[in-house]
């Protein structure tokens, strides 16, 4: 029996599924689809999970969501450009296939609220202007040049701080850094309050990173926020050497969802090759694979032309026995056949090089 999270939980009935290959856990819209390839690693089809396996990360809906804002009208062109610019593209790599399999996916981030009670010390920096003059002898006369410089006066400051920090973010996926490195950063400031309608037909990835692992990063982020607040409180222009001794309490963990489109094609061997589009910028990252089959067909075509030219040069050479005038055309045709014959290896070489250079997306 599949585990369906009812509407009371996420506001949308969802089935829980996991990927046997990358161990990712997903919420699928309740659609009765079967054989959904893992939108994350593409290495296996998702398996529906039983009701007993609802993980704690699925029990509460997210608090914030960054909506898809990439220009949807441009997606077909972006996909077509990718398909058409892949040399010796496998038969399955067509703009239509990529578009038909396009699927919105939301990725999670942790959102943390926490009470902080701290004693802090830092050096607060204040800008001030220094005016000096430089005398220069030029073209037979002295000139005075006025120079204004901004310098910083540093003063020690200390104080206490007691407040609640809300919605600090920390990665909820082990692959978060790789994702942002590959696809570009997400503009998290565009997040809005979670509304179930915003999920639509999207698949939702659940966190695979425990909150205990994310907490040190969240603390660092809260510390930088506190340093900035202390700078403002001191009416300083800069702050450095910010140190605090802090106690946190009342941590509350929720999630923020980030938008990503996923699609795929199958290579010659039938393996799924992933194509991702950033849900905000619309930029595409995909695995390019050349079809060796197609490259072989090209090579064969060129070889056949070379063979025809070669036979023609033989015929001309034979005719030259009776008519010496055709010996030169025979030689030219022979050289041409040789030249064309050598280029027959090019498709194979290019396809092989491309497959060798192209690594998989570093996200698994």
Smallest distance from Zn ion to CB 350, Å: 31
Smallest distance from Zn ion to CB 203, Å: 11
Nearer to Zn ion, 38 or 227 (CB): 38
Tokens standing for 142?
């002295």
Nearer to Zn ion, 40 or 120 (CB): 40
Please tell me what DSSP assigns to residue 38. P
Nearer to Zn ion, 18 or 86 (CB): 18
Judge contact between 347 and 88, C-beta under 8 A: yes
Smallest distance from Zn ion to CB 208, Å: 11
Nearer to Zn ion, 26 or 165 (CB): 26
Is 36 an interacting residue with respect to Zn ion (CB under 5 A)? no
Sign of CA dihedral 357, 360, 363, 364: negative
Is 19 an interacting residue with respect to Zn ion (CB under 5 A)? yes
Judge contact between 362 and 342, C-beta under 8 A: no
Tokens standing for 334?
């022979």
Nearer to Zn ion, 19 or 227 (CB): 19
In the chain, the largest separation of any two C-alpha atoms, in whole Å, equals: 108
Is 173 an interacting residue with respect to Zn ion (CB under 5 A)? no
Cα–Cα distance list, 117 to 113, 163, 195, 245, 351 (Å): 13, 7, 33, 8, 61
Binding mask 246-275 for Zn ion (x = CB under 5 A): ------------------------------
Tokens standing for 129?
């202007």
Choose which of 5, 41, 206, 351 interacts with Zn ion (CB under 5 A). Answer: 41
Smallest distance from Zn ion to CB 93, Å: 20
Smallest distance from Zn ion to CB 3, Å: 18
Site for Zn ion in 337-356 (CB under 5 A): none
Is 236 an interacting residue with respect to Zn ion (CB under 5 A)? no
Cβ-proximal residues to 140 (8 Å cutoff; 6+ apart), any chain: none
Burial of 139 per CB tally in 10 Å (0-12, 13-18, 19+): exposed
Choose which of 21, 211, 254, 360 interacts with Zn ion (CB under 5 A). Answer: 21
Nearer to Zn ion, 20 or 50 (CB): 20
Cα–Cα distance list, 7 to 25, 159, 208 (Å): 19, 48, 23
Give dist(CA 311, CA 313) in Å, integer.
5
DSSP-based three-state secondary structure for 352? helix
Smallest distance from Zn ion to CB 242, Å: 41
Nearer to Zn ion, 47 or 224 (CB): 47
Choose which of 16, 25, 36, 38 interacts with Zn ion (CB under 5 A). Answer: 38
* Phi, psi dihedrals of residue 42, rounded to the nearest 5°: 70, 5
Residues that bind Zn ion in the complex, under the rule CB under 5 A: 19, 21-22, 24, 38, 40-41
């Amino acid at each position: 029996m599949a585990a369906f999270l009812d509407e009371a939980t996420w506001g949308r009935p969802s089935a829980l599924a996991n990927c046997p290959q990358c161990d990712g856990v997903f919420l699928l819209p309740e659609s009765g689809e079967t054989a959904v390839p893992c939108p994350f690693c593409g290495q296996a089809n998702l398996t529906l999970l039983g009701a007993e396996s609802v993980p704690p990360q699925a029990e509460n809906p997210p608090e914030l969501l960054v909506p898809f804002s990439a220009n949807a009208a441009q997606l077909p062109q972006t996909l077509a450009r990718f398909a058409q610019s892949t040399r010796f593209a496998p038969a399955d790599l067509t703009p239509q296939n990529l578009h038909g399999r396009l699927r919105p996916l939301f990725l999670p981030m942790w959102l943390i609220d926490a009470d902080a009670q701290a004693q802090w010390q830092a050096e607060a920096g204040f800008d001030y202007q220094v005016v000096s003059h430089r005398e220069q002898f030029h073209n037979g006369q002295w000139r005075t040049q006025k120079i204004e410089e901004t310098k910083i006066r540093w003063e020690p400051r200390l104080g206490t701080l007691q407040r609640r920090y809300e919605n600090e973010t920390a990665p909820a996926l082990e692959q978060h850094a790789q994702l942002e490195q590959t696809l570009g950063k997400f503009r998290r400031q565009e997040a809005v309050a979670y509304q179930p309608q915003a999920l639509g037909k999207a698949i939702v990835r659940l966190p695979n990173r425990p909150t205990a692992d994310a907490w040190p990063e969240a603390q660092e982020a809260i510390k930088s926020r506190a340093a900035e607040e202390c700078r403002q409180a001191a009416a300083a222009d800069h702050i450095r050497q910010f140190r605090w001794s802090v106690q946190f309490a009342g941590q509350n963990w929720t999630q923020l969802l980030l938008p990503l489109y996923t699609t795929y094609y199958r290579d010659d061997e039938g393996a799924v090759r992933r194509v991702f589009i950033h849900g905000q910028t619309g930029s595409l990252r995909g695995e390019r694979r050349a079809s060796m089959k197609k490259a072989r067909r090209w090579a064969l075509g060129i070889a056949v032309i070379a063979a025809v030219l070669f036979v023609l040069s033989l015929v001309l050479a034979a005719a030259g026995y009776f008519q010496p005038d055709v010996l030169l055309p025979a030689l030219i045709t022979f050289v041409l056949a040789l030249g064309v014959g050598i280029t027959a290896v090019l498709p194979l070489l290019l396809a092989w090089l491309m497959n060798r250079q192209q690594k998989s997306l570093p996200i698994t």
